A and B are shown apart, each in its own frame.
Chain A
Amino acid sequence: MTEAALEGALRRGGALVAAGLVMQLASFLWNHPLAFIAFAVVGGGLVAGGMFVFLAASVKARTWKDPVGTSHRGSAGQH
């Protein structure tokens, strides 16, 4: 995965997190069971989705740079 792809994932994930945060903030305008669902399920779901998009892309990028962790094992073996 390229840096551009990781940056794209940050934009997409960030947009989802931002949408979730807006939903969570808006939920505090209303004291109602649906506001609680809006906070936990809708807002929490969007935030979790955004985190997943970014973290999955980060892990992919790391795997692409170091497919089986050889550089780490290699440096450990030199000691």
Chain B
Amino acid sequence: MALGLLGVIVILTVNLVLVATVVQRPSLLGVAGGRVLVFVTIVVLPILGFTIGFAEHAEEAKRTEFCVSCHVMEPYGRSLLIDSADHLPASHFQNAHVDHEHACYVCHTSYAMFGDIQAKLNGLQHLYVNYVSGVQGPIELYRPYQNRECLFCHGGARYFDESDIHIDIRPELERNETSCLECHTLSHDVAELSSLDVWEPGR
């Protein structure tokens, strides 16, 4: 949404001021122009504010900070700092192959509220589990990791397309019959996190 956070705040604040005005002067209902103002204030502007505010919150939800704000996700955030080029998420993060501000979303585009209806319902369930029932056992993806997330960036890149091993299995990769993770096996590796060296930016 082009309006951005400032635009949302301006619209909601103007709406709030107008609501305070019409509530203090309900006699506005007695004149035609006043009724239009009341209708715009109580019905039209709140719908507009909700629509662009929702879009702004959805945009904010793509931020790394948002994803790792739940306790259970903290190790996954820390795994981006594993000091090893073999760990894919860490390697991508530390070499700026993914935008640091949107590090999770770049590789998990169909997750929770950004996926289909089922994914959105799963996102709500995550909240329930996180705050009410509690997380049981290790967390896992709902379905195997999709190669399209990798191919979105790597597919079409010269170093990828001209690699013999990739040329041989390219059709299987595109059909998701062979997972990229079958060869590139190290991902977040949170189970081993405490025993792995961690990169400290700036040192």
Q: Are A and B subunits of one complex?
A: yes
Assess the A18–B54 pair: CB atoms within 8 A. Answer: no
Within 8 A of A (CB), among B39-93: 41-43, 46, 49-50, 53-54, 56-57, 60-61, 63, 65-66, 69-70
Q: Is A25 touching B9 in the complex (CB atoms < 8 A)?
A: yes
Give me the interface of B with A, judged by CB distance under 8 Å.
5, 8-9, 12-13, 15-16, 19-20, 22-23, 26-27, 29-30, 38, 41-43, 46, 49-50, 53-54, 56-57, 60-61, 63, 65-66, 69-70, 113, 126-127, 130-131
Q: Count the A residues whose beta carbon is within 8 Å of the partner chain — how many?
A: 33
A binding-site residues for B, Cβ under 8 Å: 3, 6-7, 10-11, 13-15, 17-18, 20-22, 24-25, 27-28, 31-37, 39-40, 43-44, 47, 50-51, 54-55
B29 proximity list for chain A (CB < 8 A): 3, 6-7, 10
Specify which chain A residues have a CB less than 8 angstroms from the CB of B131 in the assembled complex: 34
**Hey, which chain A residues are within 8 Å of B54, CB to CB?**
39-40
Given A28-B56, A36-B57, A40-B54, is A51 in contact with B43 using a C-beta cutoff of 8 Å?
yes
Assess whether A28 is in contact with B9, with CB atoms less than 8 Å apart: yes
User: What are the 7 closest A-B residue pairs judged by CB atoms, nearest first?
Assistant: A7-B26, A14-B23, A21-B16, A47-B46, A18-B19, A32-B69, A10-B26
Further 5 A-B residue pairs, CB within 8 A, beyond A18-B23, A24-B53, A28-B5: A10-B29, A11-B26, A21-B15, A21-B19, A34-B127
**Residues on the A chain within 8 Å of B127, using CB:** 33-34, 37
B198 to chain A, nearest CB (A): 24
A6 contacts which chain B residues (CB < 8 A)?
26, 29
Chain A contacts for B50, CB-based, 8 A: 24, 43-44, 47
Minimum distance in angstroms from B140 CB to a CB of chain A: 19
A11:B23 contact, CB within 8 angstroms? yes
A21 touches B46 (CB 8 A): yes
Given contacts A25-B16, A28-B56, contact A15 B23 (CB under 8 A): yes
Complex Cα distance, B61 from A6, in Å, reads 40
Task: Tell me if A24 and B12 are in contact (CB < 8 A).
Answer: yes
Contact indicator B46/A17 (Cβ below 8 Å): yes
A39 to B56, CA, bound (A): 11
Contact indicator A17/B42 (Cβ below 8 Å): yes
Is A14 in contact with B66, judged by CB distance below 8 angstroms?
A: no
